Chain A
């Protein structure tokens, strides 16, 4: 049984299987809105393949990361903006 990956989403600790996308971890933690649009709407992933840019979150202090293309790593700090 592979070790779980532990990361934090908006300050809350989350444990996921290795190979889990950050986007999936965010969903698993119960968060629906990943970012706020220009007019303040909550948005989440649409395309699942890195082109729509709706899944962007801040990972380890770096803003505008496409969470559908990043695999969870131990100790990651993820912040959504919604």
Chain B
């Protein structure tokens, strides 16, 4: 075996980059490998919403912890990361959704995340382009948006400046149980630990891993500054993110610093291809137009797709794999990878060094799936 590292991180997406930054900070000799370029996979397709979520305590803990880390990092981030604390506005179309908005608001307030409940009029005052007749909404004040590829590169560059090595175009074919990786060219690199951070492709390197590809669509518009001010998400989003098997769309729009807007979102399983599905696109845009009636006349310059890494319980896999103590996971982040990349990086470094973690790490332990069926990759 040639060379030796303390940790090899496979996957230079935002999660891998965050892990690298934390590992190097923790004093570990770190190598990052990617079969392509930095942020070329799921990170390139992502929306870049920095958001707290409340599907579970564990999800809230990880998102809130991570969001706090982003906020702390705010002044260090270069301009091209375009980090804006614009807040999320969850909109309720009816009283049922408004009740959910209030419940959510109470959940967050009880855990010291700042929120504001808005009624139907107030919601239109902060977002004049929303349709009339909405029941109201919930503002989550410290949520924000950023541009993921530049954020990932920033994290990776930080890691490299502190001594981490990065090799683009390095195709890992196997994670070795004795530590290290095997590359497509037949060479081996040894390491104390190898971390699988390749997102939706994770089962290729860790057979049987319960990570499924969940396809999403996005559209970017021309520049329409001030058309929307927050990242606006419908409360029905949760219903689709909850759904395990159905194809679904939900209204989700993000203002970028450039004045362009990202319109999402869609979720599909068993859609391996990266081609744009016009039917899903149509449904997604129709849904968005229901909330923003003047959206129809705006100019869209591009549509694309990406695949999220989805797990059965909507929580990521962070920590040692069930089978091999030298093979670790940092994957399965579904639609929260950009947000929780920082928290994941911290947890990985803490766990590797046996340090006390700031939030409980057990809910994300890969071993929680050890006894469920492990269908082959």
Contacts and interface: CB of A to CB of B under 8 A. Distances in A.
A1 interface: no
Interface string B234-262: 00000000000000000000000010000
Contact of B258 (A38, A62, A63, A64): A38
Closest 7 CB pairs of A and B: A64-B299, A64-B222, A62-B297, A63-B224, A38-B258, A63-B222, A63-B299
A64 B299 CA distance: 7
Interface string A51-70: 00000000000111000000
A78 to B, nearest CB: 17
A63 B294 CA distance: 12
Interface of A: 38, 62-64
7 contacts: A38-B258, A62-B297, A63-B222, A63-B224, A63-B299, A64-B222, A64-B299
Nearest to A61: B297
Contacts of B258: 38
B101 to A, nearest CB: 33
Contacts of B222: 63-64
B5 to A, nearest CB: 41
Nearest to A38: B258
Contacts of A62: 297
A17 B224 CA distance: 33
Contacts of A63: 222, 224, 299
A39 B258 CA distance: 11
Contacts of A38: 258
Contacts of B224: 63
B93 to A, nearest CB: 28
A44 B224 CA distance: 20
